[in-house]
Structure 1
Amino acid sequence: MMPGGRRLLLALAGTVLLSGCGFTPLYGEAGVSGALSRIAVTTPDDRLGYRLREQLEDAFGRDGAQAPLYRLATEVEHKRRPLGRRIDDTASRYEPTV
């Protein structure tokens, strides 16, 4: 077999093997992106709720052009625990928990 023929055979064999293993291209279309972009996110009307809604809508790919099929309702609870204490017993640092 000629050297060019071997390369062609290896390329064809590689293509067949990759197609059978579930390989997907890095920039390929995902199957759930259409459904995720139609999720409406409901959050509390405060700063933390706004930031959560913006990040979720960005992750889901929501553009607002289509009517939502699903609604995700969230509740946000924010606590902070004092860590460092000064001499006058005031906190110098906090550990936030969301």
Structure 2
Amino acid sequence: MMPGGRRLLLALAGTVLLSGCGFTPLYGEAGVSGALSRIAVTTPDGRLGYRLREQLEDAFGRDGAQAPLYRLATEVEHKRRPLGRR
């Protein structure tokens, strides 16, 4: 095996082993889930706005237990366009 190929194989094996053991960097961020759960989503009234807000709050992990630090204001525009032949 070539020396460059061996190095690549060792790097790949090390990456796989470190990802399996739960390795986290010493000075790394803990993650963004705490900040995402503190985003309040504002949507327009109506069914589409309600569904958008529910999807975003579910994706962000918002439970309403903590006061929001951030506010995300959205607007919804709905256009219909025929997809088939007339």
TM-score by length of 2: 0.65
Q: CA separation of 1:6/1:64 partners in 2, compared to 1, >3 Å: closer, same or farther?
A: same
Q: Deviations over 1:21-67 (max 9, x none)?
A: 99569999961100000000000001000000000000000000000
Distance 1:26 1:54 in 2: 35
> Which structure has the bigger radius of gyration?
1
Alignment of 1:13-24 (within 5 A): 18=18
Q: CA separation of 1:26/1:33 partners in 2, compared to 1, >3 Å: closer, same or farther?
A: farther
TM-score by length of 1: 0.58
Flag structure 2 segments of 5+ consecutive residues without an equivalent: none
Partner of 2:49: 49
Which structure shows the higher strand fraction?
Answer: 1
Q: CA separation of 1:64/1:10 partners in 2, compared to 1, >3 Å: closer, same or farther?
A: same
Flag structure 1 segments of 5+ consecutive residues without an equivalent: 87-98
Which structure shows the higher helix fraction?
Answer: 2
Aligned residues: 86
Ranked by relative contact order (alpha carbons within 8 Å, sequence separation 6 or more), the top structure is 2
